[in-house]
Amino acid sequence: MPWWGVLLIGVGALIVGAVVGFFVSRKVFQNYLEKHPPVNEKMIRAMMQQMGRTPSEKQVRQIMASMQQNKQ
């Protein structure tokens, strides 16, 4: 087999691997987000109401801000 044939097979395998890797990682990420959805303001309000508190808008925004700071 000539050298260019080996090169074409290598490049083809690299492209196929990249495409397959993209779709596999996309599927894994979608499954992760389904199992662990990101926390939003509505969830924080529901959590505080379950604890017997009536949350103000300021409290909800403070919690969201503290969560954003801890993320970084």
48 and 67 together in one domain: yes
Q: Residue 30's pLDDT is what?
A: 95
Q: How far is CA 55 from the centre of its chain?
A: 28
29 and 48 together in one domain: no
- Measured CA to CA, the distance from residue 34 to residue 48 in angstroms comes to 23
State which residues form the domain around 63: 39-72
Q: Residue 72's pLDDT is what?
A: 63
20 and 43 together in one domain: no
Q: Residue 21's pLDDT is what?
A: 98
Q: Are 33 and 44 a contacting pair, CB within 8 Å?
A: no
Q: Residue 36's pLDDT is what?
A: 86
**Which residue matches tokens 């499954």?**
31
**Which residue matches tokens 């389904």?**
34
Domain count, the chain: 2
Per-residue pLDDT of the chain (72 residues; tens, 9 = 90+): 899 999 999 999 999 999 999 999 999 999 999 998 888 899 999 999 999 988 899 999 999 999 888 876
